[in-house]
Structure 1
Amino acid sequence: MTDHEKRDSAWVIFFRLLLVLFYLVAGIMHIISPGGFLAITPNWVPYPDQVVFFTGVAEIAGAIGLLIPPTLLPKIRYAAGIGLALYALCVFPANINHAVNNLAIGGSTATWAYHGPRLLFQPVFIWWALFAGSVTRWPFR
């Protein structure tokens, strides 16, 4: 166990669990209701149905990985944090596609009041995954 895991405060644990919940729900939704995700997938992505399915699997796997204590399987939480950060980076083009092309999901389009914060928050999701996976503690050293 690293010094980071020994020092995990209630806040670190809370934010890790919040991210786990987010990715579990998102992953399940990718699998059981892929329509909205398919609608925003850029045209250049090959095999969009399979990509959306496997992105759901990746989200669920990453969330489970964040739950595994380092004392049980060292480096799994760390790997999950890196994996979810890379995942958030890789799906960013779909979020951009959704915003720039004002794509409808379920018959409705969203305004920039939705798209703007969502796009600006993507780097936070990347950092959050790294933080939850104990890859970084910046800026809370």
Structure 2
Amino acid sequence: MAPLIALVVGTALARLAGLAGITALEGWHPALRVGLALMFVLTGVAHFVGQRRAGLIAMVPPALPRPALLVTLTGVLELVGAVGLLVPATARLAAAGLGLLMLAMFPANVSAARRGLTLGGKPVTPLGPRTALQIVFVATAAVISFGP
């Protein structure tokens, strides 16, 4: 739920900053970029920190090799993508790349839910709500990629 909160709160605060006169944040499109970037900073950092990292490594489907390397790689991609979202010239490409990354990583979420794993000491999000969240996140990336 924390990624959704980061997306919503980050977008709302960026939109308010735009309404307060920060011209770079005028409109919903720039605000969405900030919200999605905040979400990916949050999730990207989790790829490198203690219990969260261990949980993410466990989430990698058993058939894939070198789960720790895969978690490190996806964490780096998430953080680089977050920076890319904040640069207007690269925002569309970054959002498209992050959308594809989310689609590529979704099977790990399915696998984790089916195996009843935990993340940060809590059960992973059940498959139904996780799928709904994934749709929201990918749709946000698509709006940034193809929007105004």
Task: State which of 130, 136, 141 in structure 1 corresponds to 2:146.
Answer: 136
2:8: which partner in 1? none
Q: How does 1:52-91 map to 2 (within 5 A)?
A: 52-70=71-89, 76-91=90-105
How much identity, in percent, do the aligned residues show?
35
1:121: which partner in 2? 133
Bigger helix fraction: 2
Distance in 1 between residues matched to 2:99 and 2:125, nearest whole Å = 26
1:12: which partner in 2? 29
Deviation at 1:35, TM superposition (A): 0.8
Distance in 1 between residues matched to 2:110 and 2:56, nearest whole Å = 13
Task: State which of 113, 116, 119 in structure 2 corresponds to 1:105.
Answer: 119
Deviation at 1:130, TM superposition (A): 2.3
- Aligned alpha-carbon RMSD (Å): 2.0
SS of 2:134's partner is: helix
Deviation at 1:106, TM superposition (A): 4.5
Deviation at 1:45, TM superposition (A): 1.4
TM-score, scaled to structure 2: 0.73
Deviation at 1:37, TM superposition (A): 0.4
Amino acid at match of 1:41: V
Contact kept, 8 Å, 2:44 with 2:78, in 1: the verdict is yes
Runs of 4+ in structure 1 deviating by more than 6 angstroms, as ranges, are none
Distance in 2 between residues matched to 1:56 and 1:121, nearest whole Å = 19
Contact kept, 8 Å, 2:33 with 2:91, in 1: the verdict is no
Amino acid at match of 1:47: R
1:3: which partner in 2? none
How many residues are treated as equivalent by the alignment? 122
Contact kept, 8 Å, 2:44 with 2:79, in 1: the verdict is yes
* Unaligned runs of at least 5 residues, structure 1: 1-7, 71-75
The alpha-carbon distance between structure 1 residues 111 and 22, as it changes in their structure 2 partners (threshold 3 A), is closer
RCO higher in structure (CA 8 A, sep ≥6): 1
The alpha-carbon distance between structure 1 residues 44 and 10, as it changes in their structure 2 partners (threshold 3 A), is same
TM-score, scaled to structure 1: 0.76
The alpha-carbon distance between structure 1 residues 20 and 40, as it changes in their structure 2 partners (threshold 3 A), is same
